[in-house]
Chains A and B, each alone.
Chain A
Amino acid sequence: MSKITSCIAIAGIFLRVAAGAQEPVKIEVFDTPNDAGGSLTITWPLSTSAQTSEYRIYVATAADGPFQLAATTTAPALKSTEPTLFGHAEANDQFHVLHFTDHDTEGGGEPMPLRDGTAYFVRLGVTTDGDELFSDVHSAEPGGNWFNTAKWNNLIISVGLTLVILFYISVARRKDLFIRRIAGLEALDEALGRATEMGKSVLFVHGLKEMDKISTIAAVSILGRVAQRTARFDTDLRVANVDPVVMSVSQEVVKEAYLQQGRPDAYRPDSIFMAATEQFSYAAAVAGIMVRERPAAHIMMGYFYAESMLLAETGSTTGAIQIAGTDAYTQLPFFVTTCDYTLMGEELYAASAYLSREPKLLGSLKGQDLGKALIIGLVLVGTALASFEVDFLTHLFASL
């Protein structure tokens, strides 16, 4: 701009100010962070005028236009409503923010989406008392982001936890790690011994979930240990299944256990069977087995739904010893009231480590415990700090 033009512009500003007109709004335009692309973000300060009725965003592919309308709003959001992008600074209450992904086209028709890598020129039109005042033009390019910065806390925690767990697994390979007594598992031998003495069978029930679920994996792991003991004691084992994949895996696990104990002859494939494929048909079938065959021990491990009560209550009337383990929070009360021993929540996952004493399982259990200890510490410290309105720890761990 030449000197003369600058003087005229400055004079114009003075005149407008002298006439009581508003200054152009100062805007910031940038690529919307943490997105897949195709979006720009504009921020601008809160209006001081109560007469401001509308904000319009205009977009062009060249600095001098032509500008097309991209967005219109009468009540734009504040920066403070988006802590994922702007943090928790108090000043965020003083700025508006708006994201836009397309603009109108000349002659009407479908809006044109913003293209990644294209430079767009943006200005804001503020309508006050019927007059529209435009801001300066700013430019930005939309594009996809390769890292969601709002999730950095999640990444650090998950990587940290992973390293801790893997570390303890490697430690467990070199030395013995302590694991506290789990009453339900101590009673497992007692239950199996009782069944052997009475000459009756042991009934193992997996729960309703599929093989890809953690609770079923834990249950199958426990089944393997139970099968080793029944093979050793020559006790009849019956495994009722509801899922064909779980049944196949259970058959393999039990067969392997019997092989390991040198009792391949004692393994009977039809002792691991499909009871039914529906929840209540399964419950009815298993309840029928409990009442007719009267196993001496019922071991119910896995994820259960409403059938837990039906099974456990029926089982309790037969006089069998019942050991249950589930991570289904809502079914825990039913098992606790009707079973002799109940493994709650992660005790089910720990059971496998407890029975086998395998380093990989003990090590990961130790890693989990450290994770829990950290969480407890952070909760206590965070609660104390939040009580005095010191929020940085709360914000640090906020799910954004």
Chain B
Amino acid sequence: MLFLTRTLPFLFCFVFGVTSWIIYYVPHEYAQTIEREFALWLRLVFAFAYVLGLVSLLSLHWAKIRQRQAGWAYSLIVYISFGVMMLFVVYNDGNGPFAPQETTGPYQWTFINVHVASSATMFSLLAFFISSAAYRTFRARTPEAAILLVSAIIVMLGRVPIGAYISDVIPEAMQWLMSVPNMAAKRGILLGVSLGAIATSLRIIFGIERSYLGGGDD
């Protein structure tokens, strides 16, 4: 059992990790074939992850309904919604499930008018939250905070037409802020994060890091 839960995953990590690393430097057709296969297998894993996610979601909500846990009615709504959309997919605007999916019909209507609308609404809440957070926290308590405040105002004005309407300097200042200090900061963080990612990947490839398997370091 330990072989399956510990040793085999380490072996997979090591072999696939080192091979993928080597392939990066080898342009030969054989290496490209290996890379193609690896990428294909990875796509299969992603596809199965969707199935796993769906099964997990449905079983989680089924458990809630069965046990009448708090909020089980919402779990019932999940099942009803899932069932209705599946019906629409099978109906496929009258063409049946084996024809290519139509871009018209009840499925598309529900997707655009329910799912897209509600998702976009949730995303739009950000505008309100950012406003209240900005009011509460953008205080020039220190010189650094004051610089941040001025930069934020320039960028906020420069990104919209009213900035250019007030003065041509504002969009230029915004462009400079984005292209120089912002980019420098992002590059610094990117370098650091990339090094961190390399180190973590190395630990995983060489079996030093095992937390992704769950449990302790045995």
> Please, how many angstroms separate the alpha-carbon atoms of A369 and B161 in the complex?
43
1/0 per position for B4-32, CB-CB distance to A under 8 A?
Answer: 00000000000000000100111111101
With a cutoff of 8 Å between Cβ atoms, the chain B residues found around residue A161 in the complex are 195, 198
| A337 touching B199, Cβ below 8 Å | no
- Is B133 positioned at the interface, with any CB of A under 8 Å from its CB? yes
Residue of A nearest to B55 (CB): A244
With a cutoff of 8 Å between Cβ atoms, the chain A residues found around residue B206 in the complex are 166
| A245 touching B201, Cβ below 8 Å | no
1/0 per position for A314-344, CB-CB distance to B under 8 A?
Answer: 1010000000000101001010011000001
Chain A residues engaging chain B, CB cutoff 8 angstroms: 34-37, 144-148, 151, 154-155, 158, 161-162, 165-166, 169, 210-212, 214, 217-218, 220-221, 224, 243-245, 247-249, 251-253, 255-256, 260, 273-274, 277-278, 280, 283-284, 306, 309-310, 312-314, 316, 327, 329, 332, 334, 337-338, 344-346, 348-350, 352, 358, 360, 364-365, 367-368, 371-372, 375
Please tell me which one of the listed residues B32, B195, B212, B216 contacts residue A36 in the complex, with CB atoms under 8 A apart.
B32
With a cutoff of 8 Å between Cβ atoms, the chain A residues found around residue B126 in the complex are 306, 309-310
> Please, how many angstroms separate the alpha-carbon atoms of A220 and B208 in the complex?
16
Query: Could you list some 17 contacts between A and B, CB below 8 A?
Result: A37-B28, A145-B27, A147-B25, A155-B25, A217-B212, A249-B212, A251-B214, A274-B57, A280-B122, A316-B133, A316-B136, A329-B189, A337-B133, A337-B134, A338-B133, A345-B196, A368-B198
Please tell me which one of the listed residues B21, B24, B191, B196 contacts residue A375 in the complex, with CB atoms under 8 A apart.
B191
How many residues of chain B have a CB within 8 Å of chain A?
54
- Assuming the contacts A165-B202, A220-B212, A337-B138, asked whether A309 and B133 have C-beta atoms less than 8 A apart, the reply is yes
The 4 closest A-B pairs by CB, nearest first: A252-B214, A244-B56, A280-B122, A349-B196
| A243 touching B53, Cβ below 8 Å | yes
Extra A-B contacts (16), CB below 8 Å, given A145-B27, A244-B56, A252-B214? A147-B27, A148-B25, A151-B24, A158-B198, A217-B212, A256-B215, A277-B57, A309-B130, A327-B196, A334-B130, A345-B189, A345-B196, A349-B197, A350-B196, A365-B199, A371-B195
With a cutoff of 8 Å between Cβ atoms, the chain A residues found around residue B84 in the complex are none
- Is B119 positioned at the interface, with any CB of A under 8 Å from its CB? yes
| A360 touching B209, Cβ below 8 Å | yes
Contact residues of A: prevailing secondary structure: helix
- Is B129 positioned at the interface, with any CB of A under 8 Å from its CB? yes
| B28 touching A146, Cβ below 8 Å | yes
- Assuming the contacts A249-B212, A283-B122, A313-B129, asked whether A37 and B57 have C-beta atoms less than 8 A apart, the reply is no
| A148 touching B49, Cβ below 8 Å | no
Residue of A nearest to B122 (CB): A280
In the complex, what's the smallest C-beta–C-beta distance from A77 to chain B, in angstroms? 20
| A349 touching B133, Cβ below 8 Å | no
> Please, how many angstroms separate the alpha-carbon atoms of A284 and B122 in the complex?
8
In the complex, what's the smallest C-beta–C-beta distance from A286 to chain B, in angstroms? 13
- Assuming the contacts A309-B130, A337-B138, asked whether A349 and B200 have C-beta atoms less than 8 A apart, the reply is yes
- Is B150 positioned at the interface, with any CB of A under 8 Å from its CB? no
| B211 touching A221, Cβ below 8 Å | yes
In the complex, what's the smallest C-beta–C-beta distance from B122 to chain A, in angstroms? 4
Residue of A nearest to B24 (CB): A151
| A253 touching B214, Cβ below 8 Å | yes
| B195 touching A346, Cβ below 8 Å | yes
> Please, how many angstroms separate the alpha-carbon atoms of A241 and B199 in the complex?
26
| B53 touching A277, Cβ below 8 Å | yes
| A148 touching B133, Cβ below 8 Å | no
> Please, how many angstroms separate the alpha-carbon atoms of A274 and B204 in the complex?
26
With a cutoff of 8 Å between Cβ atoms, the chain B residues found around residue A248 in the complex are 214
Please tell me which one of the listed residues A280, A337, A344, A360 contacts residue B137 in the complex, with CB atoms under 8 A apart.
A337
> Please, how many angstroms separate the alpha-carbon atoms of A277 and B57 in the complex?
7
> Please, how many angstroms separate the alpha-carbon atoms of A389 and B125 in the complex?
50
With a cutoff of 8 Å between Cβ atoms, the chain A residues found around residue B189 in the complex are 327, 329, 332, 344-345
With a cutoff of 8 Å between Cβ atoms, the chain B residues found around residue A314 in the complex are 129
In the complex, what's the smallest C-beta–C-beta distance from B199 to chain A, in angstroms? 4
- Is B146 positioned at the interface, with any CB of A under 8 Å from its CB? no
With a cutoff of 8 Å between Cβ atoms, the chain B residues found around residue A316 in the complex are 133, 136
| B122 touching A36, Cβ below 8 Å | no
With a cutoff of 8 Å between Cβ atoms, the chain A residues found around residue B198 in the complex are 158, 161, 165, 368, 371
In the complex, what's the smallest C-beta–C-beta distance from A40 to chain B, in angstroms? 15
| B192 touching A220, Cβ below 8 Å | no
> Please, how many angstroms separate the alpha-carbon atoms of A221 and B203 in the complex?
13
> Please, how many angstroms separate the alpha-carbon atoms of A338 and B200 in the complex?
29
With a cutoff of 8 Å between Cβ atoms, the chain B residues found around residue A310 in the complex are 122, 125-126, 129
With a cutoff of 8 Å between Cβ atoms, the chain A residues found around residue B27 in the complex are 34-36, 144-148
